[in-house]
Amino acid sequence: MSKPASSFNHAYILGISFISALGGYLFGFDFAVISGALPFLREQFALTAWWEGFLTGSLALGCIVGCLFAGNLADRYGRKPGLLIAALIFAISSIGMSVSPSLNIFIIMRFSAGIGVGMASILSPMYIAEVSPAHVRGRNVAINQLTIVIGILVTNLVNYSLADSGPDAWRWMFGLGCIPSTLFFFGVFLLPESPRFLVKAGKSEKARSVLARIGNPEFVQTTLSKVEASMHDASRVSIREVFMKAVRPAVIVGIGLAVFQQFCGINVVFNYTSTIFKSVGADLDRQLLETVLIGVVNLVFTLVAMWQVDRLGRRPLMLFGAAGLAISYMVLSTLLRAQASPALISIFVLVSIAIYSTSLAPVTWVLISEIFPNRIRGKASSVAVVSLWAAYFILVFTFPILAENLGTYGPFYLYSAICVAGYIFIRLKVKETKGKTLEELEGVMTR
């Protein structure tokens, strides 16, 4: 049951949530920087469609490694050490990409950046979910998505401003990532460890101290009792237990939503903006301007999602997103096929971004952070997010090849059909989670 707002130290909760969510900003940076840099990288490394897809997708391959590493690290040593390592990897890889002398070195550095992205994509929302009271958990986890989209917008603005600075502009685009990485690294030192991890590690008094800074004594005692009851035998969790019958329904939902969030196709719009608009005759300046417009719309509608996720709930927003994208893609693919004007294409690209930003983008991360039982959350989250990044790699790797063979419009018919299938999956499998504690959800999501 939700407690009155006065029972909680909301300023403190928001403060530590925003610091943790700086990992999302760096996620947004590495995700978006490639869109502005691709026109330069095509020239620099003479990219074919195959290599363009692999270079873009190499981030996802690193993410898979980062997710696997982060899950074990989070369960064994805590959420905070993982966030520190992710920040350090971000900083080193940003500099490495900026000075890369060859395509092979660049791909290695982008793969390394993916390790940091993968770690942060699990640990930041997981940490926020574990320090947030139930009645604001959806909003707080969505802060991570907010920082992702801020990272995308700021990066797109920087890319646009650097576009006329010469053929080496891409080096500055990547190198500037070391600045937010450093801020994130030092910010993590201010975070307490997750109280749920502390209980799992047998440090209940430290957990009590952290919870006391979050809420009143009643909240502290109630939370401790529920967490301790849910942690029986947690020290012997193995990856096999993630797939046991008792928790399988939650794992199926987590993997299904993670894969759908990528196969819905929107990240093609984010990563290949220049390719899409080049196909209808837009010049480089217009291509990069479109990335900025996408970033603005993404930010505005993420704020709408944060406002509504704990009001409307997770399930209605996910259903809206799946249905809305299915329709908007059909229109977009028809316009691309007809070689409509860039201005008209832009309207439906931005409509698609608005739909996604209000629904699938933040809410998928919220659900992944909250649907798994406490004792397997680290490993189960890793499985779900590994599935997400594997789907992302397949999506961005295949798009240049599909576009070359089918036309830029062709893949969007496929993405529309996938959104219809996603709508059906959500209707059948996803249960509402708003307003329930993480411990209460264990009984809802595992049956």
User: Cα–Cα distance between 432 and 209 in angstroms, integer?
Assistant: 31
Point out which residues pair with 8 in neighbouring strands. Answer: 215
Residue 204 lies in a domain: no
Residue 1 lies in a domain: no
User: What are the pLDDT digits (tens) for 167-226?
Assistant: 898 999 999 999 999 999 999 999 999 888 888 888 888 888 888 888 888 888 888 887
Residue 208 lies in a domain: no
**Concatenated DSSP letters of 327-368:** HHHHHHHHHHHTT--HHHHHHHHHHHHHHHHHTHHHHHHHHH
H/E stretch holding 305 = helix 284-308
pLDDT above 70 for 444: no
**How many folded domains does the chain comprise?**
1
Helix (H, G, I), strand (E, B) or coil at 215: strand
What does the pLDDT read at residue 235?
A: 53
Residue 45 lies in a domain: yes
The pLDDT mean for the chain works out to: 87
User: What are the pLDDT digits (tens) for 278-296?
Assistant: 999 988 888 888 988 998 9
User: Cα–Cα distance between 235 and 81 in angstroms, integer?
Assistant: 19
From the CA atom positions of the chain, what is the Rg in Å? Answer: 21
What does the pLDDT read at residue 352?
A: 96
Residue 414 lies in a domain: yes
What does the pLDDT read at residue 226?
A: 79
Banded model confidence at residue 277, pLDDT cuts 50, 70, 90:
very high
Helix (H, G, I), strand (E, B) or coil at 191: coil
Q: Is 289 within 8 Å of 302 (Cβ atoms)? A: no
Banded model confidence at residue 232, pLDDT cuts 50, 70, 90:
low
Residue 221 lies in a domain: no
| Residues of the domain holding 432 | 8-191+237-445
Residue 197 lies in a domain: no
Q: Which of 1, 3, 7 is nearest to 216 (CA)?
A: 7
Point out which residues pair with 215 in neighbouring strands. Answer: 8
Residue 397 lies in a domain: yes
Q: Which of 128, 116, 182, 120 is nearest to 16 (CA)?
A: 128
**In this structure, what CATH number is given to the domain that contains residue 117?**
1.20.1250.20
pLDDT above 70 for 447: no
**Concatenated DSSP letters of 90-153:** HHHHHHHHHT--SHHHHHHHHHHHHHHHHHHHHHHHHHHHHHS-GGGHHHHHHHHHHHHHHHHH
